[in-house]
Amino acid sequence: MARRPIGQGCVFAVSLILSASAFAAKPHARPRLSEWEQAVALREKLEATPAEQRTREKYETVLAAFRAIYHQNPQAAKAPAAVAAVADLLAEKGRVLHDQRSLHAAIGQYEFLREQYPNSPK
């Protein structure tokens, strides 16, 4: 049996494999959004919905996204802003859905913000 030199055949095979894997990769993959960016995007989507089409569930989804920020890391840079966003959303939810409980919860949330983050400009 004659032995074949490995040279060009191997180079071609390796370059073919590398090319195929490059095509398989997502060329325009977006970087993952931070929790804050995700929460803000959810809020923007909610605010783009006409008030009469907003539901308790839609508000709760956005509220949960902002709450997760300060529950997971109370010292996070965005934690005071997340607490303020929850307070604002609760007040809005109370007005839009005529929900007294949410209005009272908003007051509690603003008090929590003042107590837990006294140096926050919020």
Q: How many domains does the chain have?
A: 1
| pLDDT value for 23 | 43
48 located within any domain: yes
Confidence (pTM): 0.74
> Which domain, by its residues, includes 45?
35-116
Cα-flanking dihedrals φ and ψ of residue 6, to 5°? Answer: -80, -35
**Within a domain: residue 26?**
no
83 domain-assigned = yes
- 1, part of any domain: no
Q: Give the number of other CB atoms < 10 A from CB of residue 70.
A: 22
Provide the residue type at 54 as one letter: R
Choice among 29-33, 63-67, 102-106 with the minimum mean pLDDT: 29-33
In-domain check, residue 98: yes
Residue 10 belongs to a domain: no
